[in-house]
Structure 1
């Protein structure tokens, strides 16, 4: 199961145990940021084969609300080739284990591969803070960050936990409202839509007022409130989360409002492998946004950096021209719609610590080098069997100068069902013009909302 991946570079990517504190990178290493490396740590150059181009950041353009992802040039391209069960062996070294399993299981599953584009860019202030973080920011264990301000904390990662924190702390705007539509897809393709509205504020990755994470100090980096609006049996449920660095009482604080109880209460179960409310067990809390949980239950290591086919520039399936009925098929997505490209990814493996519990014994993450976005996760159970596969369809958002995944899919190999989340096709895209006071993300505020 645990395949060794060839390193693309030298000692920088040596596997390290996540339990030790990381050293800050040297000034000499940090000096490569903005030169041979992009300001956030990706390799600027393309690959030797020319199948991955050099980084060509797209200038900021577009409105901060009402902007569905689109790029006329990219969206008009035709596939270079298609990977199927019949020819998958030819491409196996560039496929996740999850994709290989889907190709092996289903004759009609395929992956259309398109030309690669590297357009993701970030605001100048985020890049400036990232470069500074390289020589000031450090991590203690897996969950305590120190002297990190505003940007990506670890553009030149040394331990396995660090790329995951880059994903968790990336710039996504000052605050956003998004529609999160979810579907549990049955074996015959039937599904019921769950509609959620999410309000999020990012007090760390901010341009206007960037946060500083300190060991033993204020480690809050995200404030989140979700409101289920459909179906009727779930409508009126609220989940409030304050995400912080640290573990236990120093980490996540969460509250749940249930219409049946008519009150908001602390919810320590909003964590880890407890099922997210309303997903009928098809998504754990720490699978939201591909991964968002505490890291302490696992040891983390960087396996290496590798060229992989991952979902990318997925404007078609994230846009408003595709309806959910077009996207959904029995057993897997309508694979005429997703777009796959060849990109360099960080491969990070998490292994359950002795004495800790989780449904997943091993998790293998594939993280895009340009955006620090988790594109895929192979999830293994305690029998070392591939139990689930998470696929995040990366979109570039030049209006925000950011990247995210729309939609995200979790394939359940035990049942044959799959779960779609973070879809907005038939509603509205992210609204990044919103503003929230901190008092909005409090239990009393949520209680008042429920009585209006």
Structure 2
């Protein structure tokens, strides 16, 4: 579990420690952004043996509404090879511990590996802002940021918390409405669908009206979810204002329950408290692979590594695959997911003494081009691999962004798994929406429930 990872870019990691002091990079280091590094900090070149290509961003294309992820050239490709339990030893150094466990547990589990592509791009404003952030944005401790504006805050990360903040603050459009369909899949493959509609606004990573993060303002996301099915959960609303900082300075949340018929503050929308409606199969800080405060852990960059991760997952995120096709007993239908070899940042979080969480250790695998968490190994307090999170990365050239659709949490204690962030049988993201400031308020939600 303490396996050491070879560093691929040694010069960038000489200063890495477990400490969390405020950090910026030098002008000399930042000058490589847009040159040897992409504008957001990935290595521009491919690897030596050509199995990872150079970065070749895809031009913006597609409508901002009604656009399922697609790339006809990539989608038509056939697998290069398949990883199974029989041959996994050959690829073991490039597999997450979660994938190894799935391969060992289930004889029918496999990973189809396809050619790798690096086409994710971002709007020019986001790239320009990211380059500026490299020499101005600071982090104090794990949760307090300052002098950050619009772009990725830490394109050349020095501490373990910084790649996580890149994931949390990434550009995803000005505002979006999306379907978030969820399934708890039983051992026999049965499941019940929970349908959630989410409205989200991103004031920090806004191109039209960016809200910088500084000592006076740390809000970066406004979120409202509405459960529409099944009937026992329908009418539940969750309202969140996400902010940097902790405690009273951090996240503010409200919950509307149809049974109570009123909206109230929800102080437990945090950490390993179970997310409403998931029957304990997803914690609040597992939403979007990871969100919420970092303060319960110490964070360390272990290194950068070539790994097989879910990527260009247009098929299982699109409307040609039905949920009945995707779901199988104990794991996804592994004929459908696509895996590619990519460079990832490996970040490890260890529970701080005197704090509590179901997970003692969490190991994150974060794609260098998307600053998106692709997988998480979650260990319990005995040191056993307890859960495995897998996020299937898609590129969204219409928005010029990347995200994970769907996300899966494998529960090794029960053999069940949880699917979230699926929209196959509904509509894809609508990035044309606009919300007034008053929309994400408790009185506004209360009015919605009485219409």
Kindly provide the CA deviation profile for residues 272-328 of structure 1, in whole angstroms up to 9, marking residues without a partner as x. 000000000000000000001100000000000000000000000000000000000
Q: Give the distance between the partners of 1:439 and 1:36, measured in 2 at CA.
A: 44
Cα distance in 2 for partners of 1:77, 1:115 equals 8
Classify the secondary structure of the residue corresponding to 1:316. helix
Q: Indicate the SS of the match to 1:255.
A: strand
For residue 328 of structure 2, give the secondary structure of its aligned residue in structure 1. Answer: coil
- Are 2:20 and 2:161, in contact at CA under 8 Å, matched by a contact in 1? no
Matching residue of 1:380: 379
For residues 44 and 348 of structure 1, what CA distance do their matches in structure 2 show?
A: 21
Distance 1:14 1:352, change over 3 A: farther
Shift of 1:445: 0.3
Q: Distance in 2 between matches of 1:438 and 1:112?
A: 45
Contact 2:120 2:402 survives alignment (8 Å): yes
SS of the residue 2:415 aligns to: coil
Assess, with a 3 A threshold, how the Cα gap between structure 1 residues 14 and 186 changes in structure 2: closer, same or farther: farther
What residue ranges of structure 1 are gaps of 5+ in the alignment? 211-215
Q: Deviations over 1:43-68 (max 9, x none)?
A: 00000010000000000000000000
Note if contact 1:96-1:378 (Cα within 8 Å) is conserved in structure 2: yes
- How far the C-alpha of 1:11 sits from its partner, in A, is 3.6
Does the aligned pair in 2 maintain the 1:364–1:379 contact within 8 Å?
yes
User: Quick check: 325-334 or 14-23, which moved more?
Assistant: 14-23
Displacement of 1:411 in angstroms is 0.1
Provide the residue aligned with 1:354 in structure 2.
353
Structure 2 gap segments, 5+ residues each: none
Query: Contact 1:17–1:299 (CA<8 Å) still a contact in 2?
Result: no
Return the TM-score normalized by structure 2: 0.98
Task: Tell me what 2:448 maps to.
Answer: 449
Is this contact kept in 2: 1:14–1:303, CA < 8 A? Answer: no
Residues in 1 aligned to 2:22 and 2:383: alpha-carbon distance in whole angstroms? 29
Structure 2 counterpart SS, 1:93: helix
Q: Distance in 1 between matches of 2:16 and 2:444?
A: 44
CA distance in 2, matches of 1:266, 1:33: 43
Residues 101-159 of structure 1 show CA distances to partners (whole Å, capped at 9, x for unaligned) of 00000000000000000000000000000000000001000000010000000000000
> Contact 1:15 / 1:303 at 8 angstroms: preserved in 2?
no
SS of the aligned residue for 1:446 comes to: helix
C-alpha contact (below 8 Å) 1:15/1:302 kept by paired residues: no
Shift of 1:24: 1.1
CA displacement 1:138-186 (0-9 Å, x = unmatched): 1000000010000000000000000000000000000000000000000
Distance 1:15 1:331, change over 3 A: farther
SS at match of 2:135: helix
Q: Which moved more, 1:19-28 or 1:255-264?
A: 19-28
TM-score where L is the length of structure 1: 0.98
Q: How far apart in 1 are the matches of 2:109 and 2:167?
A: 29
Q: Distance in 2 between matches of 1:109 and 1:2?
A: 26
- Work out whether residues 21 and 138 of structure 1, in 8 Å CA contact, stay in contact via their aligned partners in 2: no
User: Using the alignment, how far apart are the partners of 2:431 and 2:65 within structure 1?
Assistant: 6
Task: Name the count of aligned residue pairs.
Answer: 447
Q: CA–CA distance in 2 between the matches of 1:369 and 1:349?
A: 16
Distance 2:11 2:208 in 1: 37
Return the alpha-carbon distance in structure 2 between the equivalents of residues 21 and 221 of structure 1: 22
Residues in 2 aligned to 1:342 and 1:318: alpha-carbon distance in whole angstroms? 19
Shift, 1:189, TM fit: 0.0
Shift of 1:14: 4.2
Contact preservation (8 Å) 1:15, 1:304: no
- Specify the alignment match of 2:19 in structure 1: 19
Q: Deviations over 1:361-415 (max 9, x none)?
A: 0000000000100000000000000000000000000000000000000000000
CA contact (8 A) 2:386 2:413 kept: yes
Aligned residues of 1:118 and 1:370 also touching (Cα < 8 A): yes
Paired with 2:29 and 2:176, the residues of 1 have a C-alpha distance of: 34
- For 1:14 and 1:351, locate their aligned partners in 2 and report how far apart those are by CA, in whole Å: 21
Cα deviation for residue 23 of structure 1 reads: 2.3
Asked whether the equivalents of residues 344 and 365 of structure 2 are also in contact (C-alpha less than 8 Å), the reply is yes
